[in-house]
Amino acid sequence: MEIIGRKKEISEMTLVAESHEPEFVVVYGRRRVGKTYLVNQFFDNKFVFKVTGVAEREAKDKQLANFGESLRRYGSPLCPNPKNWTEAFSSLRTLLENTKTRGKKVVFIDELPYMYTRRCDLVSALEHFWNDWGSTRQDLLLVVCGSATSWIVKNIVNNKGGLHNRLTRKIYLRPFTLSETKQYLESRGIVFEDRDILETYMVMGGIPYYLRLIEKGKSLAQNIDEMFFMRKGRLDGEFDNLYSALYEESDKYVKVVKAISKLNRGLSREEIIKETGIKDGGGLSTILKDLDQCDIIRAYSAYGKKRNGVLYQLTDFYSFFYFKFIEKHPATEKGFWKYQLNTSSHNAWAGYAFEQLCLYHYPQIEKALGISGVQTSYSSWFSDNAQIDLLIDRADRIINLCEMKYSDSEFIIKKKDAEDLRRKMADFYEKEKVRKALHLVMVTTYGVKKNEYYNMVQNEVTMSDLFD
C-alpha cells in the first residue's frame, strides 16, 4: 500500500538505507501515529531480524522469551531463551554475523520501551551491542521504535551514558496534516466534504489509526457515535490506553492535562500546581516536558513575555474532545454526537478546536498570506480585556492579527464583532507600543461576507487554504 505523506521521513529513511556507514536510527512519536507502519512499509518487511516488545512492562521473562522466539524465527542457531539482555544481544550479534544477506542488514526493534523493566540491563546491553560491534559494521541498519516517547527521549535520544551521540538519525513522526488526512481518507474510499474532514481533524487530529476506523458509507456523525459514544465503541477505552502507553504514573499526567483543558488559553505553572495539587519541583517539570515532547500540550510565551509568563495549552485534539464530551457522556445504544450538532456546546468546542487546527497549520496560513519567504515569528497575546490567539510578527514591519472563526457558511462581521476586534487592536497597540502596521486577517471556513464592516479586514484565509 502507498505511504500517504511522510515525504521528509521517507527521504531520511532513504538516506540511511543507501548509506555505506553503520546506521542507528530512532523513530518515535505519539501512540497510533503510524511509526511501525512507516518502517514496515518502507522496508517492505524485509528485515534480517525484527522483534516487537510485549505490552507488559514488568514481565521481564516474557520479554526475553519473546526476543528468543524472534531469534529462532529469523534463523538463530542458539535455541534457548536468553537469560538476560546482554545474552540476548550477544545472540543477535551471532545471528547477524551468520546472515548472508547482501547490502544493508536491517534490524527493527519495535516497542523497545515495553522491553524495559526495573533494574534490567536492556539499555546497557544495547549500548554494548552498538558500541562494541554494531558501530563497526558498515552493512548494519538498526532501527528502534516506541510509543512511550518520554522513555525513548530519556534513554535513547538524550542518553547520557554509552549511547550519548551514538544515534545517526532521529525521526520524529507527527500526525497527518489536513491535506494528508484528506488523501488518507480518499485512499480508503471515504467520501467527505472538506468541512467534514476539517471536523474529523478537530475530533481526532491527524492520527492514522483513528482515521482507519472510519467506515465508508456512513456520515461523520455516525462514525463519531460508533467510535466514541456507542456501547463497545471502536475506540472504547482508548483514552486510558493512550496515556498508560505513553507514560508511567499516567494518572499524574492525566491530572495535569485535564487541568490545562479547562482554560482555552492554557495555564501557568502556578495555576497547574494550584489546580492539581502536584508539588512544584522536578516531578512537575518532567511531566510538562514529557507532555510537550509528545505534542499533547504546547508551552508558549505570550507576545512581549519571552522570558517569563510561560503558559501550557492543550493541543491534542482527541484529549480535548475526550474531556469536553466523551468523559461526560457515558456510552448508550443510541449514541450522542448526532444530537449535538449545532448546539451551543458543539459550537463552543468547535471554535477552540478550529483555533488549534489553525495553529497546527501555521505554514499553510503563511503560504496563503504570501509571506513564506519573509522572516516571521508567531505567538499569542492576551490582556485583562482581550485575547489574540495568533499574531504573526513579520520582518517587513507588519503584524498580522489572525482571528479564527469556525462557521457553516460565510462569516458575517456584525457590529459587536467589529467593536471587539477594534478593541483588541487598540488594546494591543496601547500595551505593547508596537511600531508596525497591524493587519487583521480573518481565518474562516467559507470566507467573510462583504458588508459595512468588511473593509477592516486586510486579508482572508479560508478552509481550502488550510488543505494546501
- Which DSSP string corresponds to 123-171? HHHHHHHHHHTGGG-TTEEEEEEES-HHHHIIIIIT--STTTTT-SEEE
Residues of the chain with pLDDT under 70: 1, 57-58, 78, 306-308
Nearest to 124 by CA among 90, 157, 86: 86
- Cα–Cα distance for residue pair 109/28, rounded to 1 Å: 12
Supply the pLDDT for residue 58.
62
Supply the pLDDT for residue 386.
84
- Cα–Cα distance for residue pair 267/261, rounded to 1 Å: 9
Supply the pLDDT for residue 220.
96
DSSP secondary-structure letter at 304?
A: T
Residue 175: what residue type? Answer: P
- Cα–Cα distance for residue pair 15/382, rounded to 1 Å: 44
Sequence spans of domains, the chain: 7-172, 178-236+331-349, 239-324, 366-466
- Cα–Cα distance for residue pair 261/137, rounded to 1 Å: 49
Supply the pLDDT for residue 387.
86
- Cα–Cα distance for residue pair 213/11, rounded to 1 Å: 28
Supply the pLDDT for residue 2.
78
The class of domain 366-466 in CATH terms is: alpha beta
- Cα–Cα distance for residue pair 431/429, rounded to 1 Å: 6
Q: What are phi and psi of 385, to 5 degrees?
A: -110, -15
- Cα–Cα distance for residue pair 46/40, rounded to 1 Å: 8
pLDDT digits (tens, 9 = 90+) for 113-122: 999 988 889 9
Here the cell at position 361 is: 497549520
Task: Tell me if residue 411 falls in helix, strand or coil.
Answer: strand
Task: Return the CATH fold of 7-172.
Answer: Rossmann fold (3.40.50)
Lookup result for grid cell 519573509: 374
Supply the pLDDT for residue 293.
87
Residues contacting 396, CB < 8 A, separation 6+: 371, 374
Residues contacting 121, CB < 8 A, separation 6+: 84, 85, 86
Q: What share of the chain is helix, strand, coil (3-state, %, to 5)?
A: 45, 15, 40
The hierarchical CATH code for the domain 239-324 is 1.10.10.10
Supply the pLDDT for residue 78.
66
Q: What is the pTM of this model?
A: 0.92
Nearest to 118 by CA among 223, 303, 248: 248
Residue 384: burial class (beta carbons within 10 Å; 0-12, 13-18, 19+): exposed
